[in-house]
Amino acid sequence: MSVRGIRGAITVDVNEEGPILTATLELLKGIVNANALVPDDICNVFITVTHDLDATFPASAIRQMAGWELVPLMCALEVPVKGSLEKCIRLMVLVNTDKTQKQIEHVYYGGAQALRPDLTNK
């Protein structure tokens, strides 16, 4: 069994708690479903947000999910590169899996699809 990283990103329209939490859950559930994961598979989830999203901690949405209470979560700010995608939440989910790198399904929603078109057009 290996530890693999699964990437995902999603954009929101406004810097408000509700949309940020909803988008975080949508993205995580997309990653979980696409890769047939259960919480016990998860090593940790690293979450970043762009500087324009400061209304809440995205991890608080994940912490409310049944079975995710013990999964280590960490939030941070994305590097503020000029001209980069705005209002974006990114996840790096580290998992224990027998899947190869090619079998991993990365998930990009909304405007975040522009970040990795090579992975969103599988």
**pLDDT the model gives residue 115:** 86
Say which range, 3-7, 32-36, 91-95, 117-121, has the weakest mean pLDDT: 117-121
- Is the separation of the CB atoms in 22 and 74 below 8 Å? no
When pLDDT is cut at 50, 70 and 90, the band that residue 121 belongs to is low
Q: Which positions are catalytic?
A: 7, 63, 75, 78, 90, 108, 116
Q: Which residue has the tokens 């696409």?
A: 34
The residue ranges of DSSP E strands in the chain, in sequence order, are 2-11, 42-49, 73-77, 88-97, 107-108
Look up the pTM and report it.
0.94
Residues 6+ away with beta carbon under 8 Å from 121: none
